[in-house]
């Protein structure tokens, strides 16, 4: 099996959510390819020493999507099979929001809007230390409602943090409904450009496009922070979850768990 196979990562997410009787499946599914390509090809992270001071940083500002990150860290070997099997259970170190006590997780997030500020601070520290580290921050589109996001963007531009890559999961939904109904965001790429970023919009499930975006933006050492606006599908990969915001807070039953796994298995056969 190819490392960081998207279908396999989604299966791990389903198993975690079912075992832990927990939620946030749809928002984890929408970022699978974005993280898979990042961990496979770009993020400098030593699984044997995930706290290495020379590592690249990956701040999951939309901390409720953390099952996707846990699945990638499991793939790397930072997390064990036992960690995954006990997700969200008593005594586990894997909680339902990103937690910096977990190996490979760089920030405790979940209070939306703050992760980008943490990422900008890490990027500035790398600049001051004159290292070649890159700092990635993955934010949700609904999270862009938060003013702290734009304060961090101004900070990043002022300090010329071209080692900061902001990844926007533009799946069109937030907890309470479509982003266009809650607070319309307009053209997100243009907004980041107005704040002094290099910005690009891509298909957030096209792994070749994702890979090319990471490569080109990281190579542009021009004093401008970077933004990738990734158009995604909430619940991507399982037909009855796609574009269905009920899977932000719905728990799996034995029947829906089995149905989702069956659908992923069929896709794995057709792409093998």
Which segments within 171-225 are labelled E, that is strand?
173-174, 177-178, 198-203
Cα separations in angstroms, 106 against 50, 138, 184: 9, 12, 30
Strand 164-170 relative to strand 135-140: parallel, antiparallel, unpaired? Answer: parallel
**Domains of the chain with bracketed CATH:** 6-271 (3.40.50.970)
pLDDT at 268: 79
What is the DSSP secondary structure assignment for residue 42, as one 8-state letter?
I
| Sign, Cα dihedral of 44, 123, 179, 18 | positive
pLDDT at 1: 44
Q: What is the mean pLDDT of residues 223-243?
A: 98
The pLDDT tens digits for 65-95 are 999 999 999 999 999 999 999 999 999 999 9
CA 229: distance to chain centroid?
A: 12
pLDDT at 113: 96
Under 8 Å CB-to-CB from 148, ≥6 apart: which residues? 113, 114, 116, 117
pTM for the whole structure = 0.97
pLDDT at 75: 96
Please, which pLDDT band fits residue 14 given cuts at 50, 70 and 90? Answer: very high
Separation between Cα atoms, residue 143 and residue 94, nearest integer Å: 23
Element (H or E) spanning 249, and its range?
Answer: none
The pLDDT tens digits for 104-141 are 999 999 899 999 999 999 999 999 999 999 999 999 99
Residues 222, 196: contact at Cβ < 8 Å? no
Under 8 Å CB-to-CB from 261, ≥6 apart: which residues? 11, 14
């Amino acid at each position: 099996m190819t490392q960081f196979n998207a279908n396999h990562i989604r299966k791990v997410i389903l198993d975690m959510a079912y075992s832990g009787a927990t939620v946030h499946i749809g928002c984890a599914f929408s970022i699978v390819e974005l993280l898979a390509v990042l961990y496979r090809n770009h993020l400098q992270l030593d699984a044997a020493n995930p706290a290495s001071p020379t590592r690249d940083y990956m701040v999951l500002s939309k901390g409720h999507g953390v099952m996707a990150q846990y699945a990638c860290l499991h793939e790397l070997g930072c997390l064990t099979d036992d960690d995954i099997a006990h997700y969200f259970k008593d005594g586990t170190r894997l909680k339902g929001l990103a937690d910096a006590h977990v190996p490979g997780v760089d920030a405790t997030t979940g209070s939306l809007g703050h992760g980008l500020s943490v990422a900008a601070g890490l990027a500035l520290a790398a600049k001051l230390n004159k290292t070649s580290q890159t700092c990635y921050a993955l934010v949700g589109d609904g999270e862009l409602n938060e003013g702290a996001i734009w304060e961090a963007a101004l900070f990043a531009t002022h300090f010329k943090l071209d080692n900061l890559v902001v990844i926007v999961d533009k799946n069109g939904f937030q907890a309470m409904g479509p982003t266009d109904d809650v607070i319309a965001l307009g053209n997100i790429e243009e907004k980041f450009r107005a704040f002094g970023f290099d910005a690009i919009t891509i298909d957030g499930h096209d792994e070749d496009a994702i890979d090319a975006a990471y490569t080109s933006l990281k190579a542009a050492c021009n004093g401008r922070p970077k933004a990738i606006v990734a158009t995604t599908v909430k619940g991507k990969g399982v037909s009855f979850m796609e574009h269905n915001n009920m899977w932000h807070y719905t728990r799996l039953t034995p029947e829906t768990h089995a149905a989702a796994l069956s659908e992923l298995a069929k896709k794995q056969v057709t792409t093998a």
